Protein backbone atom coordinates (compact mmCIF):
# COMPACT_ATOMS: atom_id res chain seq x y z
CA UNK A 1 0.00 0.00 0.00
CA UNK A 2 1.33 3.43 -0.91
CA UNK A 3 2.37 6.03 1.59
CA UNK A 4 -0.20 8.72 0.74
CA UNK A 5 -3.18 6.36 0.97
CA UNK A 6 -1.79 4.82 4.12
CA UNK A 7 -1.48 8.27 5.70
CA UNK A 8 -4.93 9.32 4.49
CA UNK A 9 -6.49 6.32 6.22
CA UNK A 10 -4.87 7.26 9.52
CA UNK A 11 -7.30 10.16 9.73
CA UNK A 12 -10.19 7.74 9.65
CA UNK A 13 -8.85 5.71 12.57
CA UNK A 14 -8.27 8.90 14.50
CA UNK A 15 -11.89 10.05 13.99
CA UNK A 16 -13.37 6.62 14.71
CA UNK A 17 -12.23 6.94 18.32
CA UNK A 18 -14.82 9.66 18.89
CA UNK A 19 -17.82 7.74 17.56
CA UNK A 20 -19.48 4.56 18.60
CA UNK A 21 -19.19 2.83 15.29
CA UNK A 22 -20.39 -0.51 14.07
CA UNK A 23 -17.13 -2.26 13.04
CA UNK A 24 -18.85 -3.02 9.72
CA UNK A 25 -18.47 0.63 8.82
CA UNK A 26 -14.70 0.75 9.14
CA UNK A 27 -14.41 -2.57 7.35
CA UNK A 28 -16.38 -1.16 4.43
CA UNK A 29 -14.15 1.90 4.23
CA UNK A 30 -10.86 0.00 4.48
CA UNK A 31 -10.18 -0.33 0.74
CA UNK A 32 -11.55 1.32 -2.41
CA UNK A 33 -14.66 -0.31 -3.81
CA UNK A 34 -13.11 -0.59 -7.25
CA UNK A 35 -10.20 0.79 -9.20
CA UNK A 36 -9.52 0.56 -12.91
CA UNK A 37 -6.13 1.12 -14.50
CA UNK A 38 -5.65 1.62 -18.23
CA UNK A 39 -3.05 2.84 -20.64
CA UNK A 40 -4.13 5.50 -23.08
CA UNK A 41 -2.46 5.05 -26.44
CA UNK A 42 -2.73 8.18 -28.54
CA UNK A 43 -1.36 9.51 -31.80
CA UNK A 44 0.96 12.49 -31.35
CA UNK A 45 1.08 15.38 -33.81
CA UNK A 46 4.30 14.07 -35.36
CA UNK A 47 2.61 10.77 -36.23
CA UNK A 48 4.23 8.72 -33.47
CA UNK A 49 2.23 6.94 -30.79
CA UNK A 50 2.61 7.38 -27.05
CA UNK A 51 1.08 5.57 -24.15
CA UNK A 52 0.04 7.20 -20.86
CA UNK A 53 -0.90 5.48 -17.62
CA UNK A 54 -4.37 6.33 -16.34
CA UNK A 55 -6.58 5.40 -13.39
CA UNK A 56 -10.04 5.86 -11.96
CA UNK A 57 -10.87 4.84 -8.40
CA UNK A 58 -14.37 4.68 -6.95
CA UNK A 59 -13.70 4.63 -3.24
CA UNK A 60 -17.14 4.25 -1.72
CA UNK A 61 -20.67 4.67 -3.02
CA UNK A 62 -22.70 4.14 0.15
CA UNK A 63 -24.10 7.68 0.02
CA UNK A 64 -24.67 7.87 -3.73
CA UNK A 65 -22.92 7.83 -7.10
CA UNK A 66 -19.20 8.50 -6.73
CA UNK A 67 -17.80 11.94 -7.48
CA UNK A 68 -14.36 13.40 -7.99
CA UNK A 69 -12.03 15.09 -10.40
CA UNK A 70 -9.50 13.89 -12.97
CA UNK A 71 -5.94 15.08 -12.49
CA UNK A 72 -3.29 15.42 -15.20
CA UNK A 73 0.15 15.50 -13.62
CA UNK A 74 3.43 13.65 -14.16
CA UNK A 75 3.42 12.38 -10.56
CA UNK A 76 -0.09 10.87 -10.68
CA UNK A 77 0.02 7.25 -9.52
CA UNK A 78 -2.37 4.66 -8.11
CA UNK A 79 -1.49 5.54 -4.52
CA UNK A 80 -2.30 9.21 -5.06
CA UNK A 81 -5.55 8.48 -6.92
CA UNK A 82 -6.70 6.20 -4.09
CA UNK A 83 -5.88 8.79 -1.43
CA UNK A 84 -7.69 11.50 -3.38
CA UNK A 85 -10.74 9.24 -3.85
CA UNK A 86 -10.73 8.53 -0.13
CA UNK A 87 -10.70 12.27 0.61
CA UNK A 88 -13.57 12.85 -1.85
CA UNK A 89 -15.68 10.31 0.04
CA UNK A 90 -15.31 12.31 3.23
CA UNK A 91 -15.52 15.69 1.53
CA UNK A 92 -18.92 14.87 0.00
CA UNK A 93 -20.14 13.65 3.39
CA UNK A 94 -18.92 16.76 5.25
CA UNK A 95 -21.14 18.97 3.09
CA UNK A 96 -23.89 16.34 2.85
CA UNK A 97 -23.91 15.90 -0.93
CA UNK A 98 -25.68 12.70 -2.00
CA UNK A 99 -22.42 11.28 -3.35
CA UNK A 100 -19.67 8.85 -2.58
CA UNK A 101 -16.07 9.61 -3.50
CA UNK A 102 -13.89 8.89 -6.52
CA UNK A 103 -10.87 10.27 -8.34
CA UNK A 104 -9.09 9.80 -11.62
CA UNK A 105 -5.78 10.76 -13.10
CA UNK A 106 -3.35 10.50 -15.97
CA UNK A 107 0.42 10.52 -15.52
CA UNK A 108 1.20 13.28 -17.99
CA UNK A 109 2.77 16.71 -18.18
CA UNK A 110 -0.18 18.42 -19.85
CA UNK A 111 1.91 21.47 -20.75
CA UNK A 112 4.09 19.31 -23.00
CA UNK A 113 1.14 18.34 -25.22
CA UNK A 114 -0.39 20.37 -28.03
CA UNK A 115 -4.08 21.21 -27.78
CA UNK A 116 -5.04 18.47 -30.22
CA UNK A 117 -2.89 15.90 -28.39
CA UNK A 118 -4.59 16.94 -25.16
CA UNK A 119 -7.97 16.46 -26.80
CA UNK A 120 -7.05 12.98 -28.07
CA UNK A 121 -5.77 12.04 -24.61
CA UNK A 122 -8.95 13.28 -22.92
CA UNK A 123 -11.19 11.43 -25.37
CA UNK A 124 -9.05 8.30 -24.92
CA UNK A 125 -9.59 8.57 -21.17
CA UNK A 126 -13.36 8.51 -21.62
CA UNK A 127 -13.19 5.58 -24.07
CA UNK A 128 -11.12 3.60 -21.57
CA UNK A 129 -13.38 4.35 -18.61
CA UNK A 130 -16.78 4.64 -20.36
CA UNK A 131 -18.23 1.64 -18.53
CA UNK A 132 -16.83 2.75 -15.21
CA UNK A 133 -18.19 6.31 -15.15
CA UNK A 134 -21.81 7.37 -15.76
CA UNK A 135 -24.35 10.02 -14.67
CA UNK A 136 -25.70 7.76 -11.90
CA UNK A 137 -22.53 5.81 -11.27
CA UNK A 138 -19.41 7.93 -11.20
CA UNK A 139 -19.21 11.59 -12.19
CA UNK A 140 -15.79 13.10 -12.97
CA UNK A 141 -14.87 16.79 -12.81
CA UNK A 142 -11.76 18.97 -13.15
CA UNK A 143 -8.77 18.73 -10.84
CA UNK A 144 -5.17 19.88 -11.21
CA UNK A 145 -4.30 20.73 -14.83
CA UNK A 146 -7.73 19.79 -16.17
CA UNK A 147 -10.32 22.46 -16.97
CA UNK A 148 -13.71 23.22 -18.53
CA UNK A 149 -12.44 22.69 -22.08
CA UNK A 150 -11.26 19.18 -21.20
CA UNK A 151 -14.55 18.42 -19.41
CA UNK A 152 -16.36 19.55 -22.57
CA UNK A 153 -14.39 17.10 -24.75
CA UNK A 154 -15.02 14.35 -22.24
CA UNK A 155 -18.77 15.00 -22.06
CA UNK A 156 -18.87 15.07 -25.85
CA UNK A 157 -17.00 11.76 -26.14
CA UNK A 158 -19.20 10.06 -23.56
CA UNK A 159 -22.35 11.33 -25.29
CA UNK A 160 -21.08 9.92 -28.60
CA UNK A 161 -20.42 6.53 -26.98
CA UNK A 162 -23.85 6.22 -25.35
CA UNK A 163 -25.65 7.74 -28.34
CA UNK A 164 -27.36 10.64 -26.59
CA UNK A 165 -26.39 13.90 -24.93
CA UNK A 166 -25.37 13.04 -21.36
CA UNK A 167 -24.25 16.27 -19.72
CA UNK A 168 -24.71 14.89 -16.19
CA UNK A 169 -21.82 12.44 -16.66
CA UNK A 170 -19.24 15.15 -15.98
CA UNK A 171 -19.23 18.47 -14.15
CA UNK A 172 -17.12 21.57 -14.61
CA UNK A 173 -18.19 21.75 -18.27
CA UNK A 174 -18.27 24.94 -20.36
CA UNK A 175 -21.55 26.84 -19.92
CA UNK A 176 -22.53 26.09 -23.53
CA UNK A 177 -22.47 22.35 -22.81
CA UNK A 178 -24.49 22.47 -19.61
CA UNK A 179 -21.92 23.86 -17.19
CA UNK A 180 -23.13 25.82 -14.17
CA UNK A 181 -22.62 29.49 -13.54
CA UNK A 182 -20.23 29.90 -10.64
CA UNK A 183 -18.39 26.59 -11.00
CA UNK A 184 -15.11 28.27 -12.02
CA UNK A 185 -14.52 30.08 -8.73
CA UNK A 186 -16.55 27.73 -6.52
CA UNK A 187 -13.65 26.07 -4.70
CA UNK A 188 -12.05 29.39 -3.76
CA UNK A 189 -15.44 30.83 -2.85
CA UNK A 190 -16.27 27.91 -0.56
CA UNK A 191 -13.08 28.48 1.43
CA UNK A 192 -13.80 32.18 1.53
CA UNK A 193 -17.30 31.54 2.98
CA UNK A 194 -15.89 29.16 5.60
CA UNK A 195 -13.20 31.59 6.73
CA UNK A 196 -15.51 34.59 6.85
CA UNK A 197 -18.13 32.61 8.74
CA UNK A 198 -15.66 31.47 11.39
CA UNK A 199 -13.80 34.79 11.70
CA UNK A 200 -15.02 35.56 15.21
CA UNK A 201 -14.35 32.05 16.47
CA UNK A 202 -10.87 32.13 14.96
CA UNK A 203 -10.19 35.62 16.30
CA UNK A 204 -9.54 37.01 12.82
CA UNK A 205 -10.01 40.66 11.85
CA UNK A 206 -9.85 41.07 8.05
CA UNK A 207 -8.14 44.47 8.18
CA UNK A 208 -5.37 43.05 10.33
CA UNK A 209 -5.01 39.63 8.75
CA UNK A 210 -2.03 38.92 6.51
CA UNK A 211 -2.50 36.01 4.14
CA UNK A 212 -0.05 33.87 2.16
CA UNK A 213 -1.49 31.80 -0.68
CA UNK A 214 0.72 29.01 -1.97
CA UNK A 215 -0.41 28.13 -5.49
CA UNK A 216 -1.93 30.76 -7.73
CA UNK A 217 -4.06 28.49 -9.90
CA UNK A 218 -7.84 28.54 -10.10
CA UNK A 219 -8.34 27.79 -6.42
CA UNK A 220 -5.67 30.00 -4.85
CA UNK A 221 -6.30 32.96 -7.13
CA UNK A 222 -10.06 33.19 -6.54
CA UNK A 223 -9.71 32.68 -2.81
CA UNK A 224 -7.07 35.43 -2.65
CA UNK A 225 -9.19 37.73 -4.82
CA UNK A 226 -12.28 37.41 -2.60
CA UNK A 227 -10.36 37.80 0.65
CA UNK A 228 -8.49 40.82 -0.73
CA UNK A 229 -11.78 42.44 -1.77
CA UNK A 230 -12.95 42.16 1.85
CA UNK A 231 -9.87 43.85 3.26
CA UNK A 232 -7.49 40.95 3.94
CA UNK A 233 -3.87 41.73 3.06
CA UNK A 234 -2.38 39.22 0.62
CA UNK A 235 1.33 39.24 1.47
CA UNK A 236 2.50 36.16 -0.41
CA UNK A 237 1.63 34.22 -3.56
CA UNK A 238 3.39 31.55 -5.59
CA UNK A 239 3.09 29.23 -8.55
CA UNK A 240 5.23 26.22 -9.42
CA UNK A 241 8.00 28.53 -10.75
CA UNK A 242 8.01 31.65 -8.58
CA UNK A 243 7.17 32.67 -5.01
CA UNK A 244 6.67 36.30 -3.99
CA UNK A 245 6.50 37.88 -0.57
CA UNK A 246 5.41 41.52 -0.12
CA UNK A 247 4.75 42.50 3.52
CA UNK A 248 2.68 45.54 2.52
CA UNK A 249 0.45 43.40 0.34
CA UNK A 250 -0.49 42.94 -3.28
CA UNK A 251 -3.61 43.00 -5.38
CA UNK A 252 -4.34 39.48 -6.69
CA UNK A 253 -6.11 40.90 -9.74
CA UNK A 254 -3.04 42.89 -10.77
CA UNK A 255 -0.81 39.89 -10.06
CA UNK A 256 -2.99 37.68 -12.23
CA UNK A 257 -3.00 40.30 -15.03
CA UNK A 258 0.79 40.38 -14.87
CA UNK A 259 1.04 36.60 -15.02
CA UNK A 260 -1.33 36.47 -17.98
CA UNK A 261 0.67 39.11 -19.83
CA UNK A 262 4.19 37.86 -19.11
CA UNK A 263 3.60 34.16 -18.44
CA UNK A 264 5.26 34.46 -15.02
CA UNK A 265 4.70 35.84 -11.53
CA UNK A 266 8.20 37.32 -11.59
CA UNK A 267 8.13 41.12 -11.29
CA UNK A 268 4.42 41.25 -10.42
CA UNK A 269 3.24 44.56 -8.93
CA UNK A 270 3.07 44.97 -5.13
CA UNK A 271 2.57 47.72 -2.59
CA UNK A 272 6.03 48.51 -1.31
CA UNK A 273 8.87 46.05 -0.95
CA UNK A 274 8.70 42.72 -2.74
CA UNK A 275 10.98 39.78 -2.26
CA UNK A 276 11.29 36.72 -4.46
CA UNK A 277 11.69 33.52 -2.50
CA UNK A 278 11.23 29.77 -2.94
CA UNK A 279 7.92 27.96 -2.72
CA UNK A 280 9.06 26.11 0.39
CA UNK A 281 10.41 29.27 2.08
CA UNK A 282 7.19 31.17 1.37
CA UNK A 283 5.30 28.84 3.73
CA UNK A 284 7.55 29.95 6.57
CA UNK A 285 7.24 33.71 6.04
CA UNK A 286 5.44 35.92 8.53
CA UNK A 287 1.64 35.92 8.13
CA UNK A 288 -1.56 35.21 10.07
CA UNK A 289 -3.28 32.86 7.65
CA UNK A 290 -1.54 30.41 5.37
CA UNK A 291 -3.56 29.02 2.47
CA UNK A 292 -1.81 26.10 0.73
CA UNK A 293 -3.58 25.75 -2.62
CA UNK A 294 -1.14 23.64 -4.61
CA UNK A 295 0.02 20.06 -4.10
CA UNK A 296 -0.19 17.54 -1.28
CA UNK A 297 2.59 17.00 1.32
CA UNK A 298 3.76 20.62 1.52
CA UNK A 299 3.86 20.84 5.31
CA UNK A 300 5.39 17.96 7.23
CA UNK A 301 7.00 17.31 10.60
CA UNK A 302 10.20 18.99 9.35
CA UNK A 303 8.92 22.39 8.29
CA UNK A 304 5.76 22.64 10.44
CA UNK A 305 7.69 24.02 13.44
CA UNK A 306 8.83 26.94 11.23
CA UNK A 307 5.33 27.94 10.11
CA UNK A 308 4.49 31.37 11.52
CA UNK A 309 0.78 31.45 10.61
CA UNK A 310 -1.79 31.03 13.36
CA UNK A 311 -4.33 29.56 10.97
CA UNK A 312 -3.79 27.27 8.00
CA UNK A 313 -6.66 26.85 5.56
CA UNK A 314 -6.09 23.87 3.27
CA UNK A 315 -7.41 24.73 -0.17
CA UNK A 316 -5.31 22.00 -1.80
CA UNK A 317 -6.05 18.34 -1.13
CA UNK A 318 -3.77 16.88 1.53
CA UNK A 319 -1.14 19.65 1.80
CA UNK A 320 -0.31 18.67 5.40
CA UNK A 321 1.02 15.24 6.35
CA UNK A 322 -0.15 13.63 9.63
CA UNK A 323 3.30 14.44 11.08
CA UNK A 324 2.86 18.05 10.00
CA UNK A 325 -0.61 18.09 11.53
CA UNK A 326 0.70 16.95 14.85
CA UNK A 327 3.46 19.53 14.90
CA UNK A 328 0.99 22.31 14.02
CA UNK A 329 -1.48 21.15 16.66
CA UNK A 330 1.29 21.15 19.25
CA UNK A 331 2.02 24.77 18.36
CA UNK A 332 -1.66 25.69 18.69
CA UNK A 333 -2.09 26.41 14.97
CA UNK A 334 -5.66 25.92 13.81
CA UNK A 335 -5.97 23.94 10.57
CA UNK A 336 -9.17 24.31 8.58
CA UNK A 337 -9.06 20.96 6.81
CA UNK A 338 -9.27 20.34 3.07
CA UNK A 339 -12.41 18.20 3.22
CA UNK A 340 -14.28 21.25 4.54
CA UNK A 341 -12.31 24.23 3.18
CA UNK A 342 -12.19 23.14 -0.45
CA UNK A 343 -15.59 21.42 -0.63
CA UNK A 344 -17.12 24.38 -2.48
CA UNK A 345 -15.91 22.99 -5.81
CA UNK A 346 -17.66 19.67 -5.54
CA UNK A 347 -20.71 21.41 -4.08
CA UNK A 348 -21.19 23.53 -7.19
CA UNK A 349 -20.39 20.41 -9.26
CA UNK A 350 -23.37 18.87 -7.50
CA UNK A 351 -25.45 21.92 -8.43
CA UNK A 352 -24.36 21.48 -12.05
CA UNK A 353 -25.41 17.82 -12.02
CA UNK A 354 -28.78 18.73 -10.49
CA UNK A 355 -29.31 21.40 -13.17
CA UNK A 356 -28.35 18.95 -15.93
CA UNK A 357 -30.81 16.38 -14.64
CA UNK A 358 -33.59 18.94 -14.21
CA UNK A 359 -32.82 20.73 -17.47
CA UNK A 360 -33.40 23.97 -15.58
CA UNK A 361 -30.55 26.41 -15.08
CA UNK A 362 -29.97 28.69 -12.11
CA UNK A 363 -28.79 32.31 -11.93
CA UNK A 364 -25.39 33.20 -10.49
CA UNK A 365 -26.88 34.75 -7.32
CA UNK A 366 -28.82 31.50 -6.82
CA UNK A 367 -25.62 29.44 -7.07
CA UNK A 368 -23.77 31.71 -4.65
CA UNK A 369 -26.63 31.77 -2.14
CA UNK A 370 -27.04 28.00 -2.20
CA UNK A 371 -23.30 27.45 -1.83
CA UNK A 372 -23.22 29.77 1.15
CA UNK A 373 -26.25 27.99 2.63
CA UNK A 374 -24.29 24.75 2.55
CA UNK A 375 -20.78 25.88 3.53
CA UNK A 376 -21.68 27.99 6.55
CA UNK A 377 -23.79 25.55 8.58
CA UNK A 378 -21.41 22.68 7.83
CA UNK A 379 -18.43 24.79 8.91
CA UNK A 380 -20.36 25.70 12.05
CA UNK A 381 -21.13 22.05 12.75
CA UNK A 382 -17.46 21.09 12.38
CA UNK A 383 -16.48 23.93 14.70
CA UNK A 384 -19.07 22.82 17.28
CA UNK A 385 -17.83 19.23 17.17
CA UNK A 386 -14.28 20.52 17.67
CA UNK A 387 -15.40 22.38 20.80
CA UNK A 388 -17.67 19.61 22.09
CA UNK A 389 -15.06 16.89 21.81
CA UNK A 390 -12.00 19.10 22.38
CA UNK A 391 -10.35 17.93 19.18
CA UNK A 392 -8.67 19.58 16.20
CA UNK A 393 -10.80 20.73 13.30
CA UNK A 394 -9.64 18.00 10.94
CA UNK A 395 -10.64 15.24 13.30
CA UNK A 396 -13.92 17.08 13.87
CA UNK A 397 -14.58 17.17 10.12
CA UNK A 398 -13.85 13.45 9.84
CA UNK A 399 -16.11 12.73 12.81
CA UNK A 400 -18.88 14.73 11.14
CA UNK A 401 -18.43 12.95 7.79
CA UNK A 402 -17.97 9.51 9.27
CA UNK A 403 -21.14 9.89 11.29
CA UNK A 404 -23.08 10.48 8.06
CA UNK A 405 -21.36 7.66 6.19
CA UNK A 406 -21.95 5.28 9.10
CA UNK A 407 -25.65 6.17 9.20
CA UNK A 408 -25.86 5.39 5.48
CA UNK A 409 -24.02 2.07 5.87
CA UNK A 410 -26.46 1.09 8.61
CA UNK A 411 -29.45 2.22 6.56
CA UNK A 412 -28.34 -0.13 3.79
CA UNK A 413 -28.73 -3.02 6.25
CA UNK A 414 -26.86 -3.69 9.46
CA UNK A 415 -25.63 -6.48 11.68
CA UNK A 416 -28.57 -6.11 14.07
CA UNK A 417 -30.70 -8.12 11.64
CA UNK A 418 -28.49 -11.16 12.18
CA UNK A 419 -27.89 -10.89 15.90
CA UNK A 420 -31.44 -10.16 17.07
Binding residues (CB under 6 A) for ligand GLU: these are: 67-69, 91, 141, 143, 171, 317, 342, 345-346, 349
How buried is residue 329: exposed, middle or buried, by Cβ count under 10 Å (0-12/13-18/19+)? Answer: middle
10 Å Cβ neighbour count for 293? 29
Cα 116 off chain centre by: 27
Beta-carbon contacts of 261 under 8 Å, excluding residues fewer than 6 positions away, are: none
Residue with Cβ nearer ligand GLU (91 or 222): 91
Q: Is the dihedral of CA 4, 6, 9, 14 positive or negative?
A: negative
CA nearest to 352, candidates 2, 52, 69, 6:
69
Is residue 354 classed exposed, middle or buried when 0-12, 13-18 and 19+ CB atoms within 10 A define those classes?
Answer: middle
Of 62 and 342, the one with the shorter C-beta distance to ligand GLU is 342
Q: Is 33 a catalytic residue?
A: no
Q: Is 144 left (phi over 0), alpha (psi -120 to 50) or beta?
A: beta
CA-angle at 81, arms to 16 and 182, nearest 5°: 90
The minimum distance between CB 190 and ligand GLU, in angstroms, equals 9
Q: Shortest distance, CB of residue 218 to ligand GLU, whole angstroms?
A: 10
Measured from each CB, the residue nearest to ligand GLU is 69
Nearer to ligand GLU, 71 or 210 (CB): 71
Options 103, 173, 259, 386, the catalytic residue: 103
Asked if 304 contacts 328 with a C-beta cutoff of 8 angstroms, the reply is yes
The CB-of-67 to ligand GLU minimum distance in angstroms stands at: 5
Please state the closest distance from residue 6 (CB atom) to ligand GLU, in A: 20
Contact 103, 66 (CB under 8 A): no
Q: Which is nearer to ligand GLU, 157 or 314 (CB)?
A: 314
- Would you say 77 or 281 has its CB closer to ligand GLU? 77
64 or 414: whose CB is closer to ligand GLU? 64
* Smallest distance from ligand GLU to CB 171, Å: 5
Measure the CA–CA gap between 396 and 137, rounded to whole angstroms: 29
Which of 64, 249 has the CB closer to ligand GLU? 64
CB of 131 to ligand GLU, least distance (A): 19
Q: Which residues in 80-115 are b (16+ Cβ under 10 Å) and which e? A: bbbbbbbbbbbbbbbbbbebbbbbbbbbbebeebee
Compute the least distance from the CB of residue 371 to ligand GLU, in Å: 12
Give me the least distance between CB of 64 and ligand GLU, in Å please: 12
Q: 83 vs 212, which CB is nearer to ligand GLU?
A: 83
Half-sphere exposure at residue 1, Cβ-oriented, CA atoms within 13 angstroms: 12
Which residues are catalytic, by number?
103
Amino acid sequence: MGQLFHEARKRLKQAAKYLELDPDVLEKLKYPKETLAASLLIRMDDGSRRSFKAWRCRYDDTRGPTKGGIRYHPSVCLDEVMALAFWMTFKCAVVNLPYGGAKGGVAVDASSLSKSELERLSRAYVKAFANFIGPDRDIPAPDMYTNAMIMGWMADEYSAIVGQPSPAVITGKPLQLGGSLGRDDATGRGGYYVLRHLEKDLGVTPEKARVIVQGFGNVGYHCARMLHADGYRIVGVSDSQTALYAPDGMDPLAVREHKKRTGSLRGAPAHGRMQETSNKALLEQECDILVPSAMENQIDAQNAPNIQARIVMEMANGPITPGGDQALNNKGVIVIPDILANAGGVTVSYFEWVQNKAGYYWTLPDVHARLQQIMEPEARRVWDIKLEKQIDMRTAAYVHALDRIAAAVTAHGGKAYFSS
